[in-house]
Every structure is written in C-alpha cells, then in structure tokens.
C-alpha cells in the first residue's frame, strides 16, 4: 500500500498525540493508592506505548527516506 508524505506526517502526529495521552494515563494510574487494582490497565497501556513507538520509528524511517 502506498502512502503520501502527508498521510505519514498526519499519522505520526496522531500517534504522538495518543502516546502523550497514554503516558499521562499510566502516570495517573500508577499514582493511585490502590494501584494493584489497575495493574492490567497499566500493563495494557504500556504495551500500547511500545507498539505506537515502533510504528512511529517506522514512519520516521520512511519519511527520512523521502527527504
């Protein structure tokens, strides 16, 4: 599938926004007194951060190839 530079740039912008929100969510959940209650949600959010970071790296690599 072919993506324009604009498509990739917009996808990266959206991923960056989602990463910011996920990281803030993790911070909030980890600060709760009953953190163990949220352990699975924290784990899921951290896994999503990892996945989005991989996607971001791949997008950046593609954008750099186009310059």
Average pLDDT over residues 46-59: 98
Look at residue 62 in the predicted model and tell me its pLDDT.
Answer: 98
Phi, psi of 32 (to 5 degrees): -70, 145
Cβ atoms of 11 and 58 within 8 Å: the answer is: no
pLDDT recorded at residue 17: 98
**Tens digit of each residue's pLDDT (9 = 90 or more) over 9-51:** 999 999 999 999 999 999 999 999 998 999 999 999 999 999 9
Please report the pLDDT score of residue 44 as a whole number.
98
The set of residues, in sequence order, having a beta carbon less than 8 Å from that of 36 and lying 6+ positions away, is: none
């Amino acid at each position: 599938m072919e993506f324009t530079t604009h498509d990739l740039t917009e996808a990266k912008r959206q991923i960056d926004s989602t990463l910011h929100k996920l990281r803030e969510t993790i911070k909030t959940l980890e600060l709760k007194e009953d953190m163990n209650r949220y352990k699975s949600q924290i784990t899921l959010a951290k896994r999503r951060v990892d996945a989005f970071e991989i996607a971001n790296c791949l997008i950046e690599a593609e954008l750099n190839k186009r310059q």
